[in-house]
């Protein structure tokens, strides 16, 4: 492709609305253009890389036994009501109406559609397992789109779904997908870490996220030297031991004027936050429940959600809290709290003489002890794990890193097949729901993650496998006939050799073109200039390296071919 014929609008300055490097570079290098918040046009250069990633995904999915199909973006609301997700997915769902005023969702994911398809088509275990996938634009009405394509409202995703007759078959496919994902990201040149995760709105029990390690990542990973790794939300953790060794005292009510946050109360009473127990109310579907947790810890709502098995979970409002506890927010406690389910986090174990809200404005209770002063029937792991907690598998200390989630795989079990009544007949002629798995990769996010991982102050440094072009030919002076004749010649030879080549035929000064070359990050640059040509040479340079290699012009093509296959191997191995 000749630069002058394509459309690569590069920019010298960072866009004002970009925060992270990948967003800045994707705009500056002319990969994409924002239309609206979280909505982007993929320009020719950006699209080429997206297609490269898609191709790798296709190859690996096909190799893993999955088959591609394409489902509709527009999905009737009835299907979503059947699974209950019309409400559960809630505001994230991009909803539209047709002219008959019928509700549709723009697909954020396709469990409903695929399960509906299969329930009508597959009745026998003989057709299982079946793995289907698609690569498609997804819509999610994100509360806050940000970081360019990293959290967009419209983005490209590969989603795969598998159907099985039993758990064992699902396990096998899950493993195969796990391996396929590992290979996919490896081939994209990314170093990813599979970590255990929470399943969120998709549901299911076992799930792994594939994270690209990056400080700008939105996900927190807790890991241990023993190999345990999980997202903060998905992590189990043991708390570092804290046991109060003192005589049980008698409960007392004290006034704590204007002290309604943990910080204020602990300061006022001059106690460790670990002596305080927070009582947090949630509305779980229609019911209000109370969670008790140690003052220094946060509730992991995902865990609460999973344990209660409710479909919606929200923090109770101030009015609801006043209604159930009799006191404004900040003064609630378990003592005397009636008629409601109360679950305590494991962090309460070992505590004595604790401080809790008195369910009375401006008052707390001190020296509270259970089961003397209140009873808790149920203890669960509900706290958000954090660095410094102990590894659930070996007991050593967990450390924290950040990452970008580029893929996630789930064992769904029968969640969707049950709610959509998708059943098959097993060998015994017995009807049972399909056992399902689902597997997603954020294609556009993967591209952004690659840039996060591979860039320098001058621009992008594409891994060879996903670069929009493999070679950039840069003639220094396009009005010099000898230079252009040579550049054109190389272009033809390289294209004939099956390479993807961009020829910068713009009539610009050399320095300007070098800057653009670095910005768009084509891995291999072939510089053609009068001076070198007179010595029978051209210059070859890798974007990721500093040194320029002078090479005889008749050896250049074979050398480039060699370097490209080496780079390809290098990026696949990294």
Partner RNA sequence: CGGGGCGUAGCGCAGUCCGGUAAGCGCGCCUGCUUCGGGAGCAGGAGGUCGGAGGUUCAAAUCCUCUCGCCCCGACCA
Interacting residue ranges for RNA, rule: CB under 7 A:
10-17, 19, 28, 34, 36-38, 92, 109, 140, 142-147, 149-152, 155, 157, 200-202, 209, 218-219, 301-302, 405-408, 440-442, 444-445, 458, 476-477, 479, 509-512, 514-519, 527, 529-532, 539, 541, 548
For residue 198, the SS3 value is coil
Q: Which is nearer to RNA, 274 or 445 (CB)?
A: 445
* CA-closest candidate to residue 334, choices 392, 397, 278, 413: 278
Exposure string of 224-239, with b = 16+ CB inside 10 Å and e = fewer, is: beeebbbbbbbbbbeb
* CA-closest candidate to residue 1, choices 467, 501, 464, 498: 501
What pairing do the DSSP bridges indicate for beta strands 94-97 and 32-36?
Answer: unpaired
Instruction: State the minimum distance, in angstroms, from the CB of residue 444 to RNA.
Output: 6
Instruction: State the minimum distance, in angstroms, from the CB of residue 351 to RNA.
Output: 25
Instruction: State the minimum distance, in angstroms, from the CB of residue 52 to RNA.
Output: 17
Specify whether the CB–CB gap between 106 and 98 falls below 8 A. no
Specify whether the CB–CB gap between 284 and 308 falls below 8 A. yes
Instruction: State the minimum distance, in angstroms, from the CB of residue 344 to RNA.
Output: 21
Write the DSSP string, 256-309.
-TT--SHHHHHHHHT--GGGBEEEEEEEETTEEEEEEEETT--B-HHHHHHHHT
Q: How far apart are CA 526 and CA 503, in angstroms?
A: 9
Q: Which is nearer to RNA, 14 or 373 (CB)?
A: 14
Instruction: State the minimum distance, in angstroms, from the CB of residue 570 to RNA.
Output: 21
Q: Which is nearer to RNA, 203 or 334 (CB)?
A: 203
Q: Which is nearer to RNA, 222 or 365 (CB)?
A: 222
Instruction: State the minimum distance, in angstroms, from the CB of residue 153 to RNA.
Output: 7
Q: Which is nearer to RNA, 176 or 515 (CB)?
A: 515
**Around 483, how many Cα atoms within 13 Å sit in the side-chain half-sphere?**
21
Which distant-in-sequence residues (6+ apart) come within 8 Å of 331 by Cβ?
A: 256, 260, 325, 357, 358, 359, 360, 361, 362, 363, 364
Instruction: Give the length of the chain.
Output: 574
Q: Which is nearer to RNA, 405 or 505 (CB)?
A: 405
Instruction: State the minimum distance, in angstroms, from the CB of residue 367 to RNA.
Output: 32
Q: Which is nearer to RNA, 13 or 286 (CB)?
A: 13
Instruction: State the minimum distance, in angstroms, from the CB of residue 271 to RNA.
Output: 25
Q: Which is nearer to RNA, 121 or 311 (CB)?
A: 311
Distance of CA 385 to CAs 221, 238, 301, 310, 392, Å?
Answer: 10, 8, 12, 22, 10
């Amino acid at each position: 492709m000749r630069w002058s014929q394509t459309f690569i609008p590069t920019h010298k300055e960072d866009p004002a609305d970009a925060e992270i490097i990948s967003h800045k570079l994707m705009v500056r290098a002319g990969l994409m253009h924002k239309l609206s918040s979280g909505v982007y046009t993929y320009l020719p250069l950006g699209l080429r890389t997206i297609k490269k990633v898609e191709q790798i995904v296709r190859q690996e999915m096909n190799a893993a036994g999955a088959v591609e199909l394409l489902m509709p973006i527009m999905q009737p609301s009835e299907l979503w009501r059947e699974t209950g997700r019309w409400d559960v997915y809630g505001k994230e769902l991009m909803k539209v109406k047709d002219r008959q005023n019928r509700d549709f969702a723009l697909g954020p994911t396709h469990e409903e559609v695929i399960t509906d398809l299969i329930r009508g088509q597959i009745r026998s275990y003989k057709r299982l397992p079946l793995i289907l996938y698609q690569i498609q634009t997804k819509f999610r009405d994100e509360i806050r789109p940000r970081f360019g394509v990293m959290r967009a409202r419209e983005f490209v995703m590969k989603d795969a779904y598998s159907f099985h007759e039993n758990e064992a078959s699902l396990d096998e496919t899950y493993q195969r997908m796990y391996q396929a994902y590992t290979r996919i990201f490896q081939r994209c040149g990314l170093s990813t870490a599979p970590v255990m995760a929470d399943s969120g709105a998709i549901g299911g029990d076992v799930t792994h996220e594939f994270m690209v390690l990056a400080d700008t990542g939105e996900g927190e990973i807790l890991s241990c030297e023993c190999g345990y790794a999980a997202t903060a939300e998905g992590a189990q953790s043991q708390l570092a031991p804290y046991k109060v060794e003192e005589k049980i005292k008698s409960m007392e009510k004290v006034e704590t004027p204007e002290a309604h946050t943990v910080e204020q109360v602990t300061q006022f009473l001059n106690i460790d936050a670990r002596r305080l127990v927070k009582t947090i109310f949630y509305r779980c579907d229609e019911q209000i429940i109370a969670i008790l947790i140690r003052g220094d810890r946060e509730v992991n709502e995902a865990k609460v959600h999973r344990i209660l098995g409710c479909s919606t979970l929200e923090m109770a409002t101030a009015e609801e809290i006043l209604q159930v506890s009799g006191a404004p927010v900040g003064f609630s406690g378990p003592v005397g709290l009636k008629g409601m389910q109360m679950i305590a986090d494991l962090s309460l174990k070992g505590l004595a003489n604790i401080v809790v809200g008195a369910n009375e404005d401006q008052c707390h209770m001190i020296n509270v002890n259970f089961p003397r002063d209140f009873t808790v029937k149920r203890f669960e792991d509900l706290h958000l794990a954090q660095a410094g907690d102990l590894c659930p598998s070996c007991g050593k200390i967990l450390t924290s890193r950040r990452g970008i989630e580029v893929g996630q795989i789930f064992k769904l079990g029968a969640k969707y097949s049950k709610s959509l009544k998708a059943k098959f007949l097993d060998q015994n002629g017995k009807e049972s729901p399909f056992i399902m798995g689902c597997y997603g990769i954020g294609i556009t996010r993967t591209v952004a993650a690659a840039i996060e991982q591979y860039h320098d102050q001058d621009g992008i440094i594409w891994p060879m496998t996903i670069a929009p072009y493999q070679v950039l030919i840069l003639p220094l002076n396009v009005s010099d006939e000898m230079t252009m004749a040579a550049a054109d010649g190389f272009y033809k030879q390289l294209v004939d050799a099956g390479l993807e080549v961009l020829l910068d035929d713009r009539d610009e000064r050399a320095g300007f073109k070098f800057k653009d070359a670095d910005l768009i990050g084509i891995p291999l640059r072939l510089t053609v200039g009068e001076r070198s040509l007179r010595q029978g040479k051209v210059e070859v340079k890798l974007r990721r390296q500093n040194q320029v290699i002078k090479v005889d012009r008749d050896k250049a093509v074979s050398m480039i071919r060699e370097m490209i296959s080496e780079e390809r191997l290098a990026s696949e191995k990294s």
